[in-house]
Structure 1
Amino acid sequence: WHVWHEYLLPPVLRRVGADLFIAPDGMMPLRTDVPCIPVIHDLNHEHRPGDIPGRESRYYRRRFPLFAKKAERVATVSHFSASDIAEKYGISPDKIDVVPNGVADIFTPPLPGEAEETRRQYTGGRPYFLFVSNFSPRKNIEAVIRAFETFRRNGAGDHVLLLAGRRLYLTQEMDRHLEASPYGRDILFTGSVTRDVLRRLYGGAEALTFVPWLEGFGIPVVEAQRCGTPCILSDSSSLPEVSGGAALCVSPADAGAIAEAMARLVTDGALRRRLSTEGHTNSFRYTWETAAEEMWKSVIKATGGTA
Structure 2
Amino acid sequence: MAKIGIDVRCLTEGRRTGVEEYTINLLREILRFDVQNEYLLFLNSWKDSRTDLAWLKEFPKVQIKRFKIPNKILNFCFWYLNWPKIDRLLGGVDVFFMPNLTFYALSRKVKLIVAWHDLSFERYPEMFSLKRRLWHYLVQPKKICRRAEKIIAVSQSTKNDLTGLYEINSEKIAVLYSGIADKFKIIDRNDKKLIAVKEKYHLPYRFILYLGTIEPRKNIISLISAYNQLRIWARKENNEDLHKYRLVIAGQNGWMMDRILKEIENSPFCEDILKINFIEEEDKEYFYNLASLFVYPSFFEGFGFPPLEAMRCGVPVIVSHSSSLPEVVEDGGILIDPNRPSEIAVAMREVLTSPILRADLIKKGLKQAQKFNWRKSAKNFITYLNM
Say yes or no: TM over 0.5: yes
Does the Cα contact within 8 Å between 2:82 and 2:105 map onto a contact in 1?
no
Match status 1:13 vs 2:71: no
Structure 1 length normalisation: TM-score? 0.91
Question: How many residues are aligned here?
Answer: 301
8 Å CA contact retained: 2:332, 2:368: yes
What pairs up with 1:136-215 in 2 under 5 angstroms?
Answer: 136-155=215-234, 156-215=242-301
Distance 2:198 2:280 in 1: 17
Query: Structure 1 residue 27 and structure 2 residue 27: aligned?
Result: no
Query: Any unmatched runs of 5+ in structure 2?
Result: 1-71, 235-241
Contact 1:51–1:169, Cα closer than 8 Å, also in 2: no
Who is 2:146 aligned against?
69
C-alpha distance in 2 between matches for 1:193 and 1:116: 14
| Cα distance in structure 1, aligned partners of 2:185 and 2:211 | 16
The 1:116–1:14 alpha-carbon spacing in structure 2 relative to 1, beyond 3 Å, is: closer
Quick one: which amino acid aligns to residue 22 of structure 1? F
Q: Offset at 1:291?
A: 1.2
**How many angstroms does 1:71 deviate by?**
0.8
Identity %: 27
Q: Match for 2:180 among 67, 81, 103?
A: 103
- Cα distance between partner residues in 2 of 1:87 and 1:121: 47
Alpha-carbon distance in 2 for matches of 1:120, 1:265: 26
1:45 paired to 2:125: no
Q: Flag the structure with larger Rg.
A: 2
The Cα of 1:11 is off from its aligned counterpart by 2.7
| 1:81 corresponds to | 158
Residue 119 of structure 1: CA displacement? 5.5
Q: CA deviation at 1:124?
A: 6.1
The CA distance in 2 between the partners of 1:147 and 1:126, in whole Å, is 20
Tell me the amino acid that sits aligned with residue 229 of structure 2: T
Structure with the larger RCO, 1 or 2 (CA within 8 Å, 6+ apart) = 1
Q: Indicate conservation of the 8 Å contact 2:303/2:325, yes or no.
A: yes
Contact 1:120/1:126, CA 8 A, preserved across alignment: no
1:159 CA drift (Å): 0.7
Amino acid at match of 1:220: P
Q: Which residue of 2 is the match for residue 268 of structure 1?
A: 354
1:143-198 Cα offsets, whole Å, 9 max, x none, are 11000000011104321101111101221221221121111111102222123321
Residue 328 of structure 2 corresponds to residue 245 of structure 1: no
1:3 partnered with 2:80: no
